[in-house]
């Protein structure tokens, strides 16, 4: 046999053996995305098999809720959605770095969920680190974060806006002013003005800023403080008496 064809035949046989043994000599971004989508497609029915297959036994998994899990806890967390619930998670905007036996896939997840006929959406960003060991690619580390989304704007009570107007003090020389302009409520500090959008009658938010602004009242129904709530912790600005 000609030497050239013998080499080609040898390579073909080696490749076939590798495929038969379930090994992955190389991997592409497209294949990483395909496997990742397979994982998310298995979430709604609670199919644990892809998660057992693609996650390494010594993996570290951190989700958007701040939970850190090993493989055992991760697999146990995969269960069918309750009756009346359905949804999808789509992998979008993937970016990868594949170097030797290591592959990093960073991507967005667009989630849609239906809860007894009501539709919800959410966006996440995840980064997975794949490692090739014994010829197989598996995820050894994964971390997910949720994008912040502004809440829906609630019904405004214009009659209450004058009650919120005033100057609020955090410490000596540290003040912020709340005032009404037209049919909108604003807060201003050090020349920076931001509109306060109502989530409810006396709970507000600033667009693109995580947290809430609340106005505290006592039994006399008079506002005595502005509460800047961040991650369920409060910074209290006392209302200055005129």
Question: Which pair of structure tokens corresponds to residue 220?
Answer: 């006399």
Greater model confidence, 216 or 5:
216
pLDDT score of 157 = 84
CATH fit for domain 24-146, picks 3.40.50.300, 3.10.450.50, 3.40.1350.10, 3.30.450.80: 3.10.450.50
Q: What is the overall mean pLDDT for the chain?
A: 89
pLDDT at 9 over 70: no
4 exposure class (CB count in 10 Å sphere: 0-12, 13-18, 19+): exposed
Q: Is 11 left (phi over 0), alpha (psi -120 to 50) or beta?
A: alpha
136 close to 116: Cβ distance less than 8 angstroms: no
pLDDT at 5 over 60: no
61 close to 55: Cβ distance less than 8 angstroms: yes
How far is 214 from 5, CA to CA, in rounded Å? 78
pLDDT at 13 over 60: no
How far is 128 from 96, CA to CA, in rounded Å? 10
pLDDT at 185 over 50: yes
Percent of the chain with pLDDT over 90: 75
How far is 218 from 51, CA to CA, in rounded Å? 53
pLDDT score of 14 = 42
| CATH architecture, domain defined by 158-239 | Beta Barrel (2.40)
Q: How confident is the model at residue 2 (pLDDT cuts 50, 70, 90)?
A: low
How far is 232 from 217, CA to CA, in rounded Å? 19
pTM of the model: 0.74
124 close to 146: Cβ distance less than 8 angstroms: yes
pLDDT score of 242 = 57
Residues of the chain with CATH 3.10.450.50: 24-146
pLDDT at 10 over 80: no
Residues of the chain with CATH 2.40.128.50: 158-239
């Amino acid at each position: 046999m000609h030497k050239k064809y013998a080499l080609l035949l040898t390579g073909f046989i080696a490749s076939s053996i590798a495929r038969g043994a379930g090994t992955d000599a190389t991997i592409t971004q497209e294949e990483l995305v395909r496997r990742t989508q397979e994982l998310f497609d298995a979430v709604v029915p609670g199919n644990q098999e892809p998660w057992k297959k693609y996650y390494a036994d010594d993996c570290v998994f951190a989700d958007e809720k701040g939970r850190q899990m090993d493989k055992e806890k991760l697999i146990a967390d995969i269960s069918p959605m309750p009756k009346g619930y359905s949804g999808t998670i789509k992998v979008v905007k993937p970016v990868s770095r594949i170097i030797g036996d290591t592959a990093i896939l960073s991507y967005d997840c667009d989630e849609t969920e239906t809860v007894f006929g009501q539709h919800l959406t959410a966006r996440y960003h995840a980064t997975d680190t794949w490692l090739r060991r014994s010829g197989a690619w598996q995820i050894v580390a994964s971390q997910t974060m949720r994008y912040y989304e502004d809440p829906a704007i609630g019904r405004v009570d214009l009659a209450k806006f004058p009650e919120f107007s005033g100057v609020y003090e955090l410490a000596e020389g540290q003040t912020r002013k709340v005032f009404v302009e037209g049919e909108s409520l604003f807060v201003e500090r050090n020349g920076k003005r931001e509109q306060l959008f109502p989530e409810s009658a006396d709970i507000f938010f600033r667009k693109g800023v995580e947290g809430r602004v609340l106005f505290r009242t006592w039994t006399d129904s008079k506002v005595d403080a502005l509460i800047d709530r961040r991650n369920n912790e409060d910074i209290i600005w006392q209302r200055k008496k005129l």
